[in-house]
Amino acid sequence: MSTEGSFSAPPQVHTFDGVLSDFDGTIVDSTDAIIKHWHKIGAELGVDPETILATSHGRRSIDTLKLYDESKANWEYVKYVEGRIPIEFGSDAVEIPGARDFLDALDEAGGRWGVVTSGTMPLVNGWLDVLNLTHPKNLISAEDVEQGKPDPRCYLLGRSQIGCDQNTNSIIVLEDAPSGIKAGKAAGFKVLALTTTHKLAQLQEAGADWIVEDLRSISVKGVVNGSIQLEIRNAFQ
């Protein structure tokens, strides 16, 4: 694997039965808010927040909390504290460049798409409201699966929820974290990775099929017979 190259691949149009996107780091950049959140939780638990932050990205909070305080690793607590993040730290998040246009285009085109996230429903809906972004009709959140990423079941469930045949692998997954890339690949899908939160080499090592800088490099060209045509530009080569 080489990081010598550039984000300059010519435009290519690919057709997929469906699109499944991660949320935090892929649609929304809430890094500053999440850091403040874990500093607050770390103080409550008596744990160095930097220790928590070293492994928390791309993982469900319930799985992270199990490492430090089993009593807090329940959905009632997790949904409550995550639901507070957009309320308390709403000014600390922005959309990933290109996210607004891409979500609007997916929704208007009427193709099969959804969000598959390690966050809880209150967290995702909170950010979508704060940033006034298109709400997906299909959303797989942390509460919906027994195992979080890199386990592929979240993406397999996403395929089912958006109405794709359970035997199709013609799905593109949009991700920013190695754990999510591995989940998408383990599900048998193609993965487009964004360099929004991790280093290029980490995304390559996780097995991404394309790597771009952000969502400005992907656009919806149309929906034909239910399949979505996507143009991918300026991928790393």
Per-residue model confidence (pLDDT) at position 3: 78
Report residue 4's pLDDT band, with 50, 70 and 90 as the boundaries: confident
Catalytic residue from among 22, 29, 176, 214: 22
Question: Can you tell me the mean pLDDT for 120-144?
Answer: 97
Arithmetic mean of pLDDT, 58-84: 95
Q: CA of 234: how far to CAs of 12, 152, 218, 231, in Å?
A: 9, 28, 9, 10
Mean pLDDT score across all residues of the chain: 96
Known active-site residue 32: no
What integer pLDDT is reported at residue 67 of this predicted model? 95
Q: What is the DSSP letter of 36?
A: H
Asked if 180 and 59 count as a contact pair (C-beta separation under 8 A), the reply is no
Mean pLDDT of 172-193: 98
* Segment 35-40 mean pLDDT: 96
**Helix runs in the chain, H state only:** 31-45, 49-56, 61-66, 75-89, 99-109, 121-131, 153-161, 178-186, 200-206
Mean pLDDT value of segment 223-234: 97
pLDDT-derived band of residue 94, with 50, 70 and 90 as boundaries? very high
CB 59 within 8 A of CB 38: no
Contact 171, 27 (CB under 8 A): no
User: CA 51 to CA 53: how far, in whole Å?
Assistant: 6
| pLDDT for position 2 | 75
Nearest to 68 by CA among 83, 58, 55, 57: 55
Whether 234 shows a pLDDT value over 90: the answer reads: yes
Catalytic residue among 17, 24, 176, 214: 24
The dihedral built from the CA positions of residue 191, 32, 118 and 228, taken in this order, carries a sign that is negative
Side-chain half-sphere exposure of 203, counting CA atoms within 13 A: 23
Q: Is the pLDDT of residue 99 over 90?
A: yes
Check residue 57 and give its pLDDT. 83
Query: What pLDDT score was predicted for residue 55?
Result: 86
User: What mean pLDDT is predicted for residues 155-160?
Assistant: 98
Whether the CB-CB separation of 171 and 190 falls below 8 Å is answered with yes
- In the numeric block, which tokens belong to residue 6? 């550039």
- Fold classification of 8-29+93-236 is Rossmann fold (3.40.50)
Q: What is the mean pLDDT of residues 208-236?
A: 97
The predicted pLDDT at position 40 comes to 96
Q: Where are the domains of the chain?
A: 8-29+93-236, 30-92
Stretch 204-232: mean pLDDT, rounded? 97
Structural tokens at position 46: 């008596």
Could you check whether 8-29+93-236 and 30-92 share the same CATH topology? no
24 belongs to the catalytic site = yes
CATH number for the region 30-92 comes to: 1.10.150.240
User: How many other β-carbons are positioned within 10 Å of the β-carbon of residue 135?
Assistant: 12
**pLDDT > 90 in the chain, percent:** 96
In the block, tokens 């300026």 appear at: 234
Residue identified by tokens 């890094």 is 31
